[in-house]
Structure 1
Amino acid sequence: MVDWKWSLLMAKRDLRKTGGRLILFVSAIVTGIAALVAVTSFGDNLSKDIDEQAKELLGADLSLEKNQPIEFPDLEDRAARRALEVNFASMVYFPKVGESRLTQVRALEGDFPFYGSLETLPAAGDGEFRKGGKRALVEKTLLAQFGASVGDRIKVGNVTLEIVGALQKVPGQNGITATVAPAVYIPMDQLEASGLVQYGSRVNYVHYFQFPEEFDLEALITEKKESWEEDKVRLETVQSQKESTGRSFQNLSNFLVLVAFIAVLLGCVGVGSAINVFVKEKLPSVAVLRCLGVRAKEIVFVYLVQIFIMGLFGSLLGATAGAFLQFLLPLVFSDFLPVEVTVQVSWRAVAMGTITGVLISVLFALIPLLKVRKVSPMMTLRPDDPAAGFGKDPLRWMVLLAILLFILGFSYYLLEEWDQTFWFTGFVVFAFGSLWLLAVGIMKAIRKFLPISLNYPVRQALSNLYRPNNQTVSLLATIGLGTAMIGTLFFIQDQLLDEVRFADKEDQPNMLFFDIQTHQVDSMKAVLAAEGLPVLQHVPIVTMGVAEVNGLTKQDNEELEEEERRSNSMYNREFRVTYRDTLIATEELTAGKLVPFGKSDSIFVSMEEGYAERNNVSLGDEVVFNVQGRPLTTYVGSFRKVNFRRVSTNFLVVFPDRVLDNAPKFHVLITRTKNDQESADLQNLIVRQFPNVSVVNLSMIVETLEDILGKISFVIQFMALFSILTGVLVLISSLLISKFQRIRENILLRTIGASRNTLLRINALEYLFLGGLAAGGGILLSVLAAFLLTRYVFEISFRMEWGPLALVFFLITLLTVILGWINSTSILKAKTMDILRT
């Protein structure tokens, strides 16, 4: 039995002497716990606000959307209020500056939104807009881009409208959406006059309904859902909007918590390493206690109580910091959020962070603490290594298993998906294991192969990497993993930006015109020719749906057994296809061949391989398309791999040339201009002569994507900062705690004649080697992680980017050297006689 009273008393007495140093040990977890509590609180508040603001996200109880005009007369009598929105992509021209921009035009009729409001500056702008007439509401980001203000005018198609309000908030729209597709609201009575809705135009009709509180909306959906699916009507309710938004941002919250959790793990590795040094310093005292008859488990309990107290202190401090830190997160993520996030303390998050910090501190401290059990009373007379045979200690392996189970369980608690949990846990284990093996391998290699011919400071610095109280393993694990996270971030960011950074190349198109009607094609080409610009691509696009697959209609498919049934998504989807007999730069034929029209009695189409695989389509399958009311029987003749991440005219289905010549269609023309000014002039010219034609400036698309990626990059860097900061704290605490051993070594060297400069060189070189190894190991991990992510997640080609990696390597190594040098100067201030007397 353990004498609890004696153990607690001893822990209290020893804590008075060593408590300050234990605070250094545990300070490493403060940052991680702060990040964990902050993002968990943020996630809890976000979920709560999504629940409370779900109606404002949709703006109605029910929305029904279709790409063709449709009426719902049976709902008008049941609904308390209704509204209609007709939205489409179109160019908006700013006469004040003579420039235009592709926007999302929304013609509105009715009092939508029924929940929330269209927030405008001035506040009276919404009321002015509701009066109808030639008035418009314009997204504030769009006004800022062109230096426009309320009172200015814009041209939408054939009509010129006065800007009566700057849109501050649109239901369900966040900052990123506003950047990509800024909204312009116009009254419904101006839609026809604009001339933008013509036969073949890509238009969405959205009907919004508000029902009385007692109305049974679920019963209505059950009654009408099948017929709406038949008519290809997309429905959205408050509940479905809440669930989809919640899922999207739950993934964000989970990612943030996992990043914070990694920071916690980094800190705990530092704690384990620091406790290892702490235990080594206590071994003589432990040996004395063993001589006095104190049992090993009682001594372990004494130090375990100290670790528990300090872990609790650090966790509470981190939780308090996290409660204040959460005030920053809504500002950091504001561009990604469609709701206003309230800030309040989540006691669940505080409790979880505190418990996590204490538990993980104790678990990681147990590994070095268990060595105390191996201390013999004879150690008071002769040096002994309590770690001898420690590798075979079953308790050690039980603790390691407990740590692994904790990581696995906590990851599953966050992710709620076993496959993601195993991948994340596997990565953590692999990363720590790789860095540990690197550290052990380096130490053994130096011990065995260190050349005696090296000059003394270099040889001494290298020897310090494996001598007692070295920090090689802990620094490689903590700084290395932090480096890996930052390196992976920079690597992936550059890879993604390089994928879209093609519009500035001389051999690539940079202007795309779409929604061109058939009768306008020749006129458009004439304008381009007059400007001396080539037509690089002319792409006709036909809209159609699927009626049958292998003789089975949607109804037939639903009557099949579940294992034989294919997804209804193929029947419900609206396809936009083109016709040609050749591949383009973003396509690669993977199976079958392109069969030109007339070479066979049948029509053979080419399908994107990923889409075909998801819908169980095989070569030779019969697919009957409904081409705007007329059936067209085809057969799958080939599969293509398509790079949809390139801004190009990519299609799921491609027909042979000439098959769809007589089908209703719209056209896309692509050209290349020499510079931005020529692009702007051409864009304005086209908008004035062809108001219905939309222009995409691919250079602007690239700038927009870079802006979005920059925001995402900032968010990831902000979270990765916690890991780096944790690593720095671990580095500082590790260096300080090894200070006492380094003092003895340096004093002995000074006693035998070593100069101050020599000692400084030894210490600087030691930390140079440590920082370089840690940064190098982390960069190797980042290269591997970036390769796997680019190959299997983003599915883009992998390219080595040496610039960002070299910068990360230099900064991490420099930081380690600076901190080590600062610590070395304080060590060298110690007086020789004071240490010798001790």
Structure 2
Amino acid sequence: MSGRLLSRDAMRLPNLRLAFRLALREMRGGLRGFYIFLACIALGTAAIAGVNSLSQSITGSIAAQGQELLAGDLRFELNNRQASEAERAFLAEQGQVSVSAGLRSMARLPDGSNQALVELKAVDAAYPLYGAVESEPTAPLGAQLSERDGAYGALVAPLLIDRLGVSVGDEILIGNARLRISGTIAREPDAVSDGFGFAPRLLVSEAALGASGLVQTGSLVEYAYKLKVADPSAVPAIRAEAERAFPEAGWSIRSSRNAAPSLTANITRFSQFLTLVGLTALIVGGVGVANAVRAYLDGKRAVIATFKCLGAPGGLVSTIYLIQILLIASIGILIGLVIGALVPPVAGYFLADVLPVSTSAAVYPSALALAALFGVLTALAFALLPLGRARSVPATALFRDQDIGRARRPAWAYLGGAFASLGAIALLAVVTAEERRISLTFLGAILFAFLVLRGVSWLVQWLAKRAPRVSSPALRLAIGNIHRPGALTPSVVLSLGLGLALLVTLALIDGNLRNQLTGTLPERAPNFFFVDIQGSEIEGFRGLLAREMPKGKIIEVPMLRGRILAFNGEDVAKREVAPEARWVLRGDRGITYAQNIPENSSLVDGAWWPKDYAGEPLVSFSEKEGKELGLKIGDTVTVNVLGRNITARIANFRTVEWESLSINFVMVFSPNTFAGAPHAWLATIIDPAASEAEEAAALKAITNTYPTITSVRVKDALDIVNGLLGQLATAIRAAAAVALVASVLVLAGALAAGNRARLHDAVVLKTLGATRATLIRAFCYEYAMLGLSTALFALFAGGVAAWFVVSRIMTLPSSFLPDVAVGTIIAALILTVGIGLVGTWRVLGQKAAPVLREL
């Protein structure tokens, strides 16, 4: 071997074949010392591979099952009006048409003793064009929805059975129609394309909807015209022709290729967030990679010195150990990819009742390749610096037992390689992201957190170095261990700080949202929303509600629906819009007109129109949404309402208190804009002192007297949102826990890497008379101080981040939660003290003689 090492080829530049052979020989001893390395790489790679594989599995299933999820090849949606004869004739020329109507209404028992909000869907005989409605008991859909003895058949969601206390075969009332429950819905093929509903589904026929009397002037009804064509490749052409032939139709057109855009978009956004969390875990694990490589090379000092003394150039030595590191990283990456590939089928099994599509047990090469690339780049980025330090240490220093980690700065080539790898990680994260601005912000936050954590560790060491002398030997030893050369302080603070800060941020955001939903918000929010109040009913409705809840404040406004088509004549579909404002342009918006400034609003720019204004149509726009859309005073907004395009000029901007849950609108028009337009009314009542019994009595009276008015109890809606928020928070916390697990692994690796120095210190101190109890107290003090410092940073950083998200992005009141603070401090202390003592227990039991002979 020495002859080969001294050969001229080896002296000039690294011989890859020789380096590979020597690397394999050195790995015969196994992977001892690299288990933390493997775990860190495998954990981060598995998170990224699993999240992206699951995302591709779900979105791929949505695309593959698009026709069934849409129940057609094309879906034309109209709000508050049916298609005209010309529009219906055009659709009929293209293929088979199925029509459905959706609205919210109140289902009640015949004796008026109970009622519940439902998502009513009325379908024709052609429904569904693709797929099938599955029910219990099983029977043809037409037979289940048919009319018999004056009662129309209906399929209901099982939840409605529970809420009303009825069973299959019983009768319920909807509007003026009598329905017979013929079964429960097990599966509705196009439920996901219809969108999220706050209430259980009630499926009836078109005839039943007509008999109910629910569809009146201004009623909030969504009509969906599903089209099945002979040649699916003609779908783009049909869509283009529909837009050209009916420019003012105001319909929303969707194809089976985009059957569930909201679901797809939410899954994509959520997967991007989880990918970034997985990347955080991988980068945090990179610190563990650096610690493991440094500890491994430190244990190879004698071998490295021998290589150098035999004439091996520094490049050959570095290549040998770089090959080893990459081979071991490949093992970790492979483990992570296997775990990631198993995520879709496993998650699909547990999410079968939640997901509207069936996921397939397939392998997604692009997701696995992306995760593997992240893993390789992370291993390189954090391994090159320890390798560079090992190369720069001369053989004589290695024989003198100098710690590789305290060697001088690596050569520029190693620094450049490490920074290039980190840059490649950042570039890859941004390029592959759906929302690049979010990725840039996230990566910037991680970089800032690393710099701040480094500063925190330096500050802790600086304070420990200048701490006054204490009388306790154990405490004095603990303070010295914090600031001495080669101390664990930077590794411990860096490893735990990021993971704990992430968990604190999510816990505070979740806690503040829950406080809003279950704390002060219900006290300020209305008790009920009442929808589809006809003009002929408004006076009687107002009087009845005043009698039932005499202490309540009633607010009523006219209500229409409209879709924004253009700003200043420019199609909104061609406009670059900030992500936080896209909801304004998505689908139809509730709009109104008003003579005076609405409650919960105040002007911030421009002027309100005068009384009896009769000029060009004007509109007041919500300030926050208007600025996000890039609008200014004097711009024009074109809105399609009831099949007509109306263009209004922005007269002013106003603040809107969305968090109050009162009646608020993005757009409020001048009264002359909709002069003579048919519309219904929207009303609320606010009575914080009303009991549940009073609310129930009022709801019963309104539903029985005005069966076509829809009542939405705000508390029920808040309960649904709270449940969804809980599920989302659980998923996010589980993902963030991956980063914390990586932090714990890095902490364990850092402690293992420092055990050699601690072993020498413990042996010397025991030789000088220190007892095991004294050393245990010293270690406990040290780990407790480090854990407390890390917890304080996590509380500060997480608190600031949560405050920014809640108060600035969500525009909600933000408060610091003491229980989160206490839990964070306890978790940090348990992790640092617990793992620290477990890692050093073996050190305390070492015999002195063998160690002293090596000094």
TM-score for both structures, normalised by structure 2: 0.87
1:827 matched to 2:816? The reply is no
Report the Cα offset of residue 53 of structure 1.
Answer: 0.6
| Residue 809 (structure 1) aligns with | 825
Amino acid paired to 2:707: P
Q: 1:594 aligns with which of 603, 608, 614?
A: 608
Match of 2:189 among 159, 166, 171: 171
Name the aligned partner's letter for residue 215 of structure 2: V
From the superposition, tell whether residues 773 and 187 of structure 1 become closer, same or farther in structure 2 (CA, over 3 Å).
same
Aligned position for 2:708: 692
- Equivalent in the alignment of 1:65: 77
The DSSP-based 3-state class of the residue aligned with 2:484 is coil
Structure 1 pair 208–746 and aligned structure 2 pair: CA distance change class (3 A): same
Distance in 2, matches of 1:817 and 1:350, equals: 37
Q: Please identify, of 740-749 and 266-275, the stretch whose mean Cα deviation from structure 2 is larger.
A: 740-749
Q: Which residue of 1 aligns with 2:721?
A: 705
Q: How far apart are residue 548 of structure 1 and its match?
A: 12
The 1-side partners of 2:384 and 2:97 are apart by 65
More displaced stretch, 706-715 vs 769-778: 769-778
User: Structure 1: how far apart are the matches of 2:218 and 2:295?
Assistant: 75
| Candidates 537, 549, 552, aligned match of 1:520 | 537
* CA displacement 1:449-488 (0-9 Å, x = unmatched): 1321252222222222233543322332222111122111
Tell me if structure 2 keeps the 8 A contact 1:545–1:575. yes
Shift of residue 678, structure 1, vs aligned partner: 2.5
Contact 2:22–2:320 (CA under 8 A) maintained in structure 1: yes
Residues 754 and 480 (structure 1), Cα distance of their counterparts in 2 relative to 1, 3 Å cut: same
Q: What code does the residue aligned with 2:97 have?
A: R
Which residue matches 1:259? 277
Q: Which residue of 2 aligns with 1:220?
A: 238
CA contact (8 A) 2:393 2:407 kept: no
State yes or no: 1:237 paired with 2:250. Answer: no
Q: Is the 8 A contact 1:514 1:667 kept in 2?
A: yes
Displacement after TM superposition at 1:577 (Å) = 0.6
| 1:618-647 deviation digits (Å, cap 9, x = unpaired) | 445688999979999976443102233442
Q: Deviations over 1:696-750 (max 9, x none)?
A: 1111121111111111111111211211222222222332333333222222222
- 1:642 paired to 2:656: yes
Q: Structure 2 vs 1, CA of residues 251 and 65 (structure 1 numbering), >3 Å: closer, same or farther?
A: same
Q: List per-residue Cα deviations over 1:303-355 (Å, max 9, x = no partner).
A: 22221222112111222222334434335666764322223333443444344
* CA deviation vs aligned residue, 1:72-126 (integer Å, no higher than 9, x gap): 4434653553221121111122569943222221111123221122222333373
Shift of 1:360: 1.9
In structure 2, C-alpha distance between the alignment counterparts of 1:204 and 1:545, rounded to whole Å: 12
Q: Is the 8 A contact 1:457 1:762 kept in 2?
A: yes
- Kindly indicate whether residue 359 of structure 2 is the aligned counterpart of residue 346 of structure 1: no
Deviation at 1:207, TM superposition (A): 1.7
Instruction: Give SS of 1:464's match.
Output: helix
User: Are 1:272 and 2:290 an aligned pair?
Assistant: yes
DSSP 3-state at the match of 1:229: coil
Q: How does 1:354-393 map to 2 (within 5 A)?
A: 354-379=372-397, 382=400, 390-391=408-409, 393=411
2:560 to 524, 535, 543: 543
Amino acid in the other structure paired with 1:37: A
Task: Tell me how large the CA RMSD over aligned residues is.
Answer: 3.6
Query: In the alignment, which residue of structure 1 is the partner of 2:666?
Result: 652
Q: Which moved more, 1:672-681 or 1:256-265?
A: 672-681
1:101 aligns with 2:116: yes
Secondary structure (helix, strand or coil) at the match of 2:761 reads: helix
Q: Secondary structure at the match of 1:216?
A: helix
1:467: which partner in 2?
484
Distance 1:327 1:629 in 2: 46
User: Is 1:723 paired with 2:735?
Assistant: no
TM-score, normalised via structure 1 length: 0.89
Q: Which 10-residue stretch deviates more, 71-80 or 216-225?
A: 71-80
Deviations for 1:592-632, whole angstroms, at most 9, x for unmatched residues?
34344159988865332345446765445688999979999
Quote the Cα distance in structure 1 between the aligned partners of 2:575 and 2:45. Answer: 47
Cα distance change, pair 802–396 in 1 and its aligned pair in 2 (3 A): farther
Q: Identify the match of residue 28 of structure 1 among 40, 56, 62.
A: 40
Alignment of 1:456-495 (within 5 A): 456-495=473-512
1:431 and 2:431 equivalent?
A: no
Change (3 A) 1:364 1:591: same
Q: 1:468 to 1:322 in 2, by over 3 A?
A: farther
In the alignment, is the contact (CA less than 8 A) between 1:60 and 1:112 conserved in 2?
no
**Mapped contact 1:273–1:471 kept (Cα < 8 A):** no
Q: Is the 8 A contact 1:374 1:386 kept in 2?
A: no
Matching residue's letter, 1:108: V
Specify whether residues 108 and 545 from structure 1 end up closer, same or farther in structure 2 by C-alpha distance, changes over 3 A only: closer
Partner of 1:37: 49
- Over 3 Å counting, the alpha-carbon distance change for 1:631 and 1:286 in structure 2 is closer
Please list the CA deviations of residues 232-273 of structure 1 after superposition, one character each: whole Å capped at 9, or x if unmatched.
222222134366654443333322222222211111111112
- Could you tell which deviates more after superposition, 363-372 or 200-209? 200-209
Structure 2 residue 325 is the aligned partner of structure 1 residue 307: yes
How has the CA–CA distance of structure 1 residues 611 and 175 changed in structure 2, closer, same or farther, with 3 Å as cutoff? Answer: closer
2:4 matched to which residue of 1?
none
Structure-2 separation of matches of 1:623 and 1:815: 57
Distance 1:452 1:324 in 2: 56
Q: What CA distance in whole angstroms lies between the structure 2 residues aligned with 1:837 and 1:381?
A: 15
Distance 2:193 2:830 in 1: 38
Q: CA deviation at 1:578?
A: 3.5
2:470 to 447, 453, 463: 453
Amino acid at match of 1:42: L
Bigger mean CA deviation after superposition, 202-211 or 437-446: 437-446
Identify the range of structure 1 (602-611 vs 219-228) with the bigger mean alpha-carbon deviation: 602-611
For residues 462 and 441 of structure 1, what CA distance do their matches in structure 2 show?
13
Alignment of 1:617-636 (within 5 A): 618-619=632-633, 636=650
2:469 aligned counterpart, secondary structure:
coil
Q: 1:502 to 1:370 in 2, by over 3 A?
A: same
Cα separation, partners in 2 of 1:460 and 1:285, compared to 1, 3 Å: farther
- After TM superposition, the structure 1 stretch with the greater mean CA deviation from structure 2, 109-118 or 788-797, is 788-797
Residue correspondences, number: 826
Task: State the partner residue of 2:764.
Answer: 748
Q: Mean Cα displacement is larger for which, 682-691 or 653-662?
A: 653-662
1:405 aligns with 2:417: no
Write the letter of the residue equivalent to 2:789. L
Structure 2 regions of 5+ residues with no counterpart?
Answer: 1-12, 577-581
The letter for the 2-side match of 1:86 is: A
What SS does structure 2 have at the residue aligned with 1:166?
A: strand
Aligned partner letter, 2:806: T
For residue 338 of structure 2, what is the aligned residue in structure 1? 320
User: Residue 172 of structure 2 aligns with which residue?
Assistant: 154
Letter matched to residue 533 of structure 2: I
- Tell me, in whole angstroms, the C-alpha distance in 2 between the residues paired with 1:632 and 1:298: 75
Inter-CA distance 171–413: structure 2 relative to 1 (3 Å threshold): farther
CA contact 1:609–1:641 (8 Å) conserved in 2: yes
Structure 1 Cα separation of the partners of residues 587 and 262 of structure 2: 20
| Structure-2 separation of matches of 1:79 and 1:697 | 43
**After superposition, what is the alpha-carbon deviation per residue over 1:419-439, rounded to whole angstroms, capped at 9, x for unaligned?**
344323222211222212222
Query: Is this contact kept in 2: 1:107–1:187, CA < 8 A?
Result: yes
